[in-house]
């Protein structure tokens, strides 16, 4: 509903932007139209990102009642003013403020959801990366996933790239054939908690296959 209302308002802004000569204060109206159109475009972009994030099953977004109601009220005011050939500074500022607040809400939700979606893959790549066929690709995927969780992507293509990186990372880990016993051993090694009792016949066979005998140190603690 909100996106449909926004779309209608944006279309009106575009029409009025092209017919400025019919307005009382043409110069100020033109300035406010440009600002209003910019805010509508920013909102439209955020809605597109939100829709793609939902489609890619990264995010199930929610808009707070205050922001939703604020946007509906302000957009309604803008529509009423446009019908009268007028656009006030305060409403233009308000739509920009609400646009920024809306984006901040979605950004916070994205960061949390993206972290949840990628953290297991990222952890596995960090743990197993050096033993994979292409360690450089594993490192690149970790970097891409970390970047993707830092903030809301700026384009639909970036959201697709993030989810693709999650899939590729999982495929790399699954394709390497590490079973839970090997993963548990490597995790203990990484945390400096591995002991000789952790080197089971299966683990020993894996160590020999990877030619890691000379890279294992023994110490007392």
Average pLDDT over residues 7-23: 67
Q: In three state form, how does the secondary structure of 66-94 look?
A: HHHHHHHHHHHHHHHHHHCCCCCHHHHHH
192: left (phi over 0), alpha (psi -120 to 50) or beta: left
pLDDT in tens, 107-121: 999 999 999 999 999
In the chain, where the domains are located? 2-111, 179-221
Mean pLDDT of the chain: 87
Q: DSSP string spanning 104-122? A: HHHHHHHHHHHHHHHHHHH
pTM here is: 0.79
pLDDT in tens, 38-91: 999 999 999 999 999 999 999 998 899 999 999 999 988 888 888 777 788 888
């Amino acid at each position: 509903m909100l996106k449909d209302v926004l779309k209608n308002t944006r279309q009106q802004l575009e029409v009025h932007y092209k017919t400025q000569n019919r307005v009382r204060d043409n110069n100020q109206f033109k300035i406010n139209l440009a600002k209003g159109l910019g805010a509508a475009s920013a909102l439209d972009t955020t809605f597109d990102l939100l829709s793609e994030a939902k489609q890619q099953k990264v995010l199930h977004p929610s808009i707070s009642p205050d922001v939703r109601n604020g946007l509906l009220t302000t957009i309604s005011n803008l529509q009423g003013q446009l019908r009268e050939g007028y656009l006030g500074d305060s409403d233009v500022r308000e739509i920009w403020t609400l646009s920024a607040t809306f984006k901040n809400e979605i950004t916070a939700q994205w960061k949390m959801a993206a972290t949840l979606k990628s953290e297991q893959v990222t952890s596995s790549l960090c743990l197993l990366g050096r033993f994979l066929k292409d360690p450089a690709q594993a490192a690149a995927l970790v970097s891409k996933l970390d970047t993707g969780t830092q903030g809301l992507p700026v384009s639909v293509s970036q959201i697709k790239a993030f989810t693709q990186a999650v899939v590729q990372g999982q495929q790399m880990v699954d394709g390497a054939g590490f079973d839970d016993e090997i993963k548990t051993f490597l995790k203990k090694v990484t945390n400096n908690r591995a002991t000789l009792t952790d080197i089971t016949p299966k683990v020993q066979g894996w160590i020999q296959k990877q030619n890691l005998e000379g890279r294992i140190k023994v110490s007392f603690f």
